[in-house]
Amino acid sequence: MSQIVPLSLPDISDNEIKVVSKVLKSGWLAHGEWNKKFESEFSSFIGVKNSISMNSCTSALEIALKVNDIKGEVVIPSMTWCATANAVINAGAKPIFCDVEPDTRNVSANTILPLINKRTEAIIVVHFGGQTCNMEEIVKLSKKYKLLLIEDSAETLGGTWKKKKAGSFGIGCFSFFPTKNITTGEGGMFTCSDNIIADKARALIGHGITNSTFDRERKKYKPWIREASYAGHNFRMPNPLAALGFLQLKKISKMNKKRNTLANYYNKKLSQFDFIKTPICNKDVYHSYQMYTVEVDKKIRNKFVNFLRSKNILASVHFYPPVHLQPFYKNIKNRVNLSITEELSERLVTMPMYSTLKKNQIDYITDTIKNFKSRN
Ligand SMILES: Cc1ncc(COP(=O)(O)O)c(C=O)c1O
């Protein structure tokens, strides 16, 4: 097989293209009625009162902090994409890095607790690669210390902790980047159950104006009045992309089921290699496998990834370097040892995973690995 096995691939049907084309021809390209449809469908799927579509998860994270006036310390994992930390900096707050649990690569009450002090105002948990954190403990901790709880759920759409969806425990922030479980190209969603916070977030992403163009145009009386209550942003999602998101969301459960079947198949096929550690899924979690990550010894990790890539299997690494070692962040003094994060960042390998990946492609991957000489 000489074909390329990409790391990820969006699943966009002909019907989705047809509907998006129709929306493009409708003339309403900015934030519009499809945003409302997508948001309402999203709220029922996650089990929250409010969903607000945005141009990215990074914007959703920044808004989650701004809407709550967070300017102090925010505990976040370093085992994440730099967007989590960038959002904290851009909101005018201070990221404080915590470590993760080795098996799930997720933060836990144990890794967050040592960093809480009187300056701490919020926690951002990251549900790594599709696996929801232990939210029971984290919710308890956030309540005990009266901290705002934000879930960076960019990588976990449809995943659960004890049957409750990621993004419904605190303020949820989702990504629809093309590598994610559903896509709108660029895009994100903010979820919350507090109506006042939701109204402020809606205003903040639309220039600080409390009613949208779409709503104003439907008003009979003075639709031209636009009053900015905040110094807002333009973080809105365009109408045609919201239409794509709406249709993608309709098939999320089916796509996540496929990802689970593929993950189980990978687990079975990769168990023949003693140098590969397959992922561990917590028993209280429904995993949405945005990524399928394995671990190998750090001495051979780069060689292994390069070997796969030389065979057109576009494996990758998430995340190297971890955020606290990136040029912008490495001068921040860490308060705790981040040894598990550092170790994982040198051991992890992200294998190709997407809902249209075929079992025979996994066979090709495992047959290819048989030719990898792990000993030298
Ligand atoms: C954990 C995490 N947070 C935030 C983001 C940022 O998402 P977006 O590209 O939609 O801003 C990503 C995307 O890669 C991510 O993986």
Tens digits of residue pLDDT in 171-221: 999 999 999 999 999 999 999 999 999 999 999 999 999 877 677 777 777
**Is the per-residue pLDDT at 374 higher than 80?**
no
Domain boundary pick from 251, 286, 314: 251
Task: State whether the beta carbon of 78 lies less than 6 angstroms from ligand 1.
Answer: no
Mean pLDDT calculated for residue range 278-304: 97
**Is the per-residue pLDDT at 376 higher than 60?**
no
pLDDT digits (tens, 9 = 90+) for 92-102: 999 999 999 99
Task: State whether the beta carbon of 131 lies less than 6 angstroms from ligand 1.
Answer: no
Domain boundary pick from 218, 251, 284: 251
Task: State whether the beta carbon of 154 lies less than 6 angstroms from ligand 1.
Answer: yes
CATH number where 148 lies: 3.40.640.10
Ligand 1, pocket-test mutation among 63, 80, 81, most atoms within 8 A of CB: 81
Examine the domain organization and report whether 230 and 313 are in the same domain.
Answer: no
Which atom of ligand 1 lies closest to the CA of 59? 11
Distance 83 CA to ligand 1 centre (A): 6
Q: Is the four-CA dihedral 57, 59, 62, 65 of positive or negative sign? A: negative
**Cβ neighbours for 17, distance < 8 A, ≥ 6 positions apart:** none
Residue 5 belongs to some domain of the structure: no
pLDDT digits (tens, 9 = 90+) for 6-18: 999 999 999 999 9
Q: What is the pLDDT of residue 1?
A: 53
Which atom of ligand 1 lies closest to the CA of 176? 10
Distance 297 CA to ligand 1 centre (A): 27
Mean pLDDT calculated for residue range 146-173: 98
Examine the domain organization and report whether 208 and 97 are in the same domain.
Answer: yes
Phi, psi of 371 (to 5 degrees): -90, 0
Please state the pTM of the whole predicted model.
Answer: 0.97
Distance 205 CA to ligand 1 centre (A): 18
Task: State whether the beta carbon of 166 lies less than 6 angstroms from ligand 1.
Answer: no
Which three-class secondary structure state does DSSP give residue 282? Answer: coil
Domain boundary pick from 200, 222, 251: 251
When pLDDT is cut at 50, 70 and 90, the band that residue 35 belongs to is very high
Residue 327 belongs to some domain of the structure: yes
Examine the domain organization and report whether 66 and 153 are in the same domain.
Answer: yes
Q: What is the pLDDT of residue 191?
A: 98
Residue 363 belongs to some domain of the structure: yes
Report the chain's mean pLDDT, rounded to a whole number: 96
CATH number where 337 lies: 3.90.1150.10
**Residue percentage of the chain with pLDDT more than 70:** 98
Q: What is the pLDDT of residue 39?
A: 98
When pLDDT is cut at 50, 70 and 90, the band that residue 224 belongs to is confident
Residue 9 belongs to some domain of the structure: no
Mean pLDDT calculated for residue range 302-327: 97
Range of the domain at 58: 14-251
> CA–CA separation, 123 vs 97, rounded Å?
10
Mean pLDDT calculated for residue range 287-298: 98
Ligand 1, pocket-test mutation among 175, 288, 293, most atoms within 8 A of CB: 175
Examine the domain organization and report whether 184 and 312 are in the same domain.
Answer: no
What total number of domains does the chain contain? Answer: 2
Which atom of ligand 1 lies closest to the CA of 187? 10
Examine the domain organization and report whether 226 and 293 are in the same domain.
Answer: no
DSSP 191-239: EES-HHHHHHHHHHTBTTBSS-HHHHHT-SS-TT---BSS---B-PPPH
